[in-house]
Structures are given as C-alpha cells and as structure tokens.
Structure 1
Amino acid sequence: MRARVRAGDREAFAELYDTHARAVYHHALRLTGDWSTAEEVMSETFLAAWRVRERLEPDGGSLTPWLYGIATHKAHNANRGLRRRLAFLDRRPSPPPVADFAEETAGRIDDARKLAAIHGALGQLRRQEREVLALCVWSGLDYRQTAQALGIPVGTVRSRLSRARAKLARRLQPVRPAAEKTEPRPRRGEVKSEAAFAALSLREEPR
C-alpha cells in the first residue's frame, strides 16, 4: 500500500480513504469538538496526503500514523482559525434572539451538549497533551506510532500522556460540599456528570 500510494495509484488511495476516513474524522472531532469542522479536517487531511504522497518513506508499517499526523496539524490550524473568527464576532453586536421551534433536533442538541462538556474538560489541557491523549487513548496508536505521527521522541509521548491523564483525573473528580459527604455512595457503574464519560476512556491502555 505504501509503495502504491507513493507511486500515485488512485485505486490504492481510494482504498486508503475507505479504510481510514471514519477514524480520521473521529480523531478530528475529538480535537476540534465540532462536527462540521471535523468533516473539513478530514477532507483536508486526505487532500494534503495526496499532495505530499511522494514524501512518504519507502519503508515503514501502517500509514495510520502518517494520516493522523496530518489530521492533527489540520485540526490545530482549524482551532486557531475558529478562535480568530470568535474574537471577530465577539467585537460585533449580538444578533436578536430567535425562537427555537425545532423540537425534533433535541437529540442532536443533547449530543452536542455532551460533546461540549467532554471537549471542555479536554480543552483545559495543553494542546500537546490533548493531541497525545487523542492519539494514544482514543485512536489506538501505540507510543511509537504516536511519536511518528507527531514527530516527537517516544519518551515525550509517555511523559505528555502521563501528565494528561493526571490532569484529567483531577479535573473530572467530582467535588461535593461537606453536607453531601454523608449521603450514600453511588452504586457501581453510576455516572454523575457528562464530563465523567471522558474519564472512562482514560482507563484504556494504548494498544
């Protein structure tokens, strides 16, 4: 596959897209927290991959780290662009409120709320820590593949992942008032906050 992609084989590249597009999209979604932005990042990732295909090393294993590395860079650029647009809109007067009559979108709005809660917790991490967490924990890359995707040493991957896990564990730990400490502990398996769903994935070890 690597040799065929390097040679500009369109059928091989189409196969690469069919195999990895969904995974690249989900990786972009975790880094951007926005469905439409993630779709743009996915498209830009494969467009860039086609343009730079000749730079691929002739020897190597899976092309997954290569694609994730491009997607991580594109997601970072998308987030920077979003911050600039939000800063511009923040300087403009707010539009008049519009009544929401789309009750059928309640499920999608709820999904967006959950994603926003999780992404908010991840947003408290440094960008480099968030990228390593997304690649190792959710995208399933091992330390070596993550290092290859980001162009950093394996030791740096390990240290960033360790810091990211520790920070999220602290920030997602529920804080209860003293008056509530006498209440019965929740049964095993109960989840008390939306952000806690993000903590579940922290127990996974990268394959």
Structure 2
Amino acid sequence: MRTGVRAGDHDVFAELFDRHAGGVYNHAFRLTWSWSTAEDVVALTFLEAWRLRHKVEPEGGSLLPWLLGIATNVARNTTRAARRYQAALTRLHADPPTPDFAQDVVDRVDDLHAVAAARAALERLRPGERDVVALVVWAGLDQASAAQALGISVGTVRSRLSRARAKLRATRDSTAARERHRGSGQVQGSHTTVAWPGQEARDEH
C-alpha cells in the first residue's frame, strides 16, 4: 500500500480511506467534541495526506499513525479557526451560530455528567498531553506509533503520558469526591457509560 500511496494511485488511496476513515473520524471527534467538525477534519486529513504522499516511507507497517498525526494537526488548526470565527461574530454582535446537532443527541444520554467530566478533564491538559492521550489511550496506538504520528521522540510521548495520567487521576478523584459529598443523586434506570480517560490512562502501560 505504501508504494501505491507514494505513487498517487487513486485506487490505493480509496482503499486507504475505506480502511482508516473510521479511525480518523473517532480520533477527530475526541479532539473536537463535534461530529460535524470531525467530518470536516476527516476530509481535510485525507486531502493533506494526498498532498504529503511523497513523504510516506516505502517500508513500514500501518499508515494509521501517519494519518492520525495529520488529523491531530488539522483538528488543532480547525479548532483555532472556529474560535477566531466565533470571536469575530461576538465582536459584531451577530446571532450565535446554530449549535452542533450532536449536542441534541448528547442531551439524551442519561450519563451526561460523565461526558462533561471526560471533556473537562481533557481540556485541563496541555495540547501536547491531550494529543498523546487521544492517540495512546483512545486510538490504541503504542508509544512508538504515537511518537511517529506526532513527530516527537518516544521519551517525550512517555513523559507527556505520565503527566497526563497524574492530572487525569487527580481530576477524577476530585470529581468522585464531589459526587460522594452530594449524597443521594442517583439516576434510576439504564444509562450509557462514557469512557473516563483517567481510568484508561492509568491502565495503559
């Protein structure tokens, strides 16, 4: 596949998309918390991958780490652009943009507090730490592949992950303590569980 990607073979690129678009989308959503923005990130990631195809090494394993590295940069740039756009609208006193429809879906999830807690915990991390958590904990890359995706050393990945683990544990423990203090506030019935990144990071070796 690497040879075909480097050569710009359209059929190979279509196979690359079919094989990894889902993984890129999931990664993009975890970075942006917006389904519509994640779709944009996927499209831009594969456009950028086409532009950078000549940089693919002829030998190697899966191209997913390479794609996730591109997606990480695209998501960061997209988020910055969205913030600038929102700031401009605010300065112009324009009507607020239509909320992402994903929020309507999230509102129906019984375990909404878990979603909010997971997002809040990740947003307390530095961007580099958040990228490592997204790649290693949620995308399932090993530390070497995450290093390749981000263009940094394995040692840097390891140190960022260690700092992220400590911060996520502290945030989770603090949240748990507040929940215990509230006493009886349980929601009856079935609910959807949203993965808490601190716990996953703790289990990652």
TM bucket, shorter chain = 0.7 to 0.9
Question: After the TM superposition, which residues 1-150 of structure 1 pair with which residues of structure 2 at under 5 Å, given as runs?
Answer: 1-93=1-93, 95=95, 107-111=105-109, 115-150=115-150
**Alpha-carbon separation, structure 1, partners of 2:90 and 2:122:** 23
Runs of 4+ off more than 6 Å: none
- What root-mean-square deviation, in Å, do the aligned CA atoms of Structure 1 and Structure 2 show? 3.1
1:37, distance to aligned residue in structure 2 (A): 0.6
Work out whether residues 28 and 41 of structure 1, in 8 Å CA contact, stay in contact via their aligned partners in 2: yes
Residue type at the aligned position of 2:69: G
1:198, distance to aligned residue in structure 2 (A): 3.4
**Alpha-carbon separation, structure 2, partners of 1:158 and 1:135:** 12
Question: After the TM superposition, which residues 126-205 of structure 1 pair with which residues of structure 2 at under 5 Å, given as runs?
Answer: 126-173=126-173, 174=175, 176=177, 180=181, 197-205=196-204
SS in 2 for 1:125: coil
Q: Which runs of 5+ in 2 are unaligned?
A: 97-102, 187-192
**Alpha-carbon separation, structure 2, partners of 1:147 and 1:137:** 13
Residue type at the aligned position of 1:27: H
**Alpha-carbon separation, structure 1, partners of 2:150 and 2:53:** 17
Bigger radius of gyration: 1
Seen in structure 2, the aligned counterparts of structure 1 residues 4 and 121 have a Cα distance that, compared at 3 Å, is: same
SS in 2 for 1:172: helix
**Alpha-carbon separation, structure 2, partners of 1:176 and 1:139:** 29
1:90, distance to aligned residue in structure 2 (A): 2.9
Work out whether residues 172 and 196 of structure 1, in 8 Å CA contact, stay in contact via their aligned partners in 2: no
Q: Which runs of 5+ in 1 are unaligned?
A: 97-104, 187-193
Identity %: 51
**Alpha-carbon separation, structure 1, partners of 2:160 and 2:22:** 26
User: 1:182-206: per-residue Cα shift (whole Å, max 9, x none)?
Assistant: x79x9xxxxxxx8873334334426
Seen in structure 2, the aligned counterparts of structure 1 residues 7 and 88 have a Cα distance that, compared at 3 Å, is: same
SS in 2 for 1:27: helix
User: 1:124-171: per-residue Cα shift (whole Å, max 9, x none)?
Assistant: 110000000000000011111111000001000000001011101111
Work out whether residues 165 and 202 of structure 2, in 8 Å CA contact, stay in contact via their aligned partners in 1: no
Aligned residues: 190
Residue type at the aligned position of 2:9: D
**Alpha-carbon separation, structure 1, partners of 2:121 and 2:108:** 17
Seen in structure 2, the aligned counterparts of structure 1 residues 18 and 93 have a Cα distance that, compared at 3 Å, is: same
**Alpha-carbon separation, structure 1, partners of 2:181 and 2:67:** 48
**Alpha-carbon separation, structure 2, partners of 1:75 and 1:164:** 20
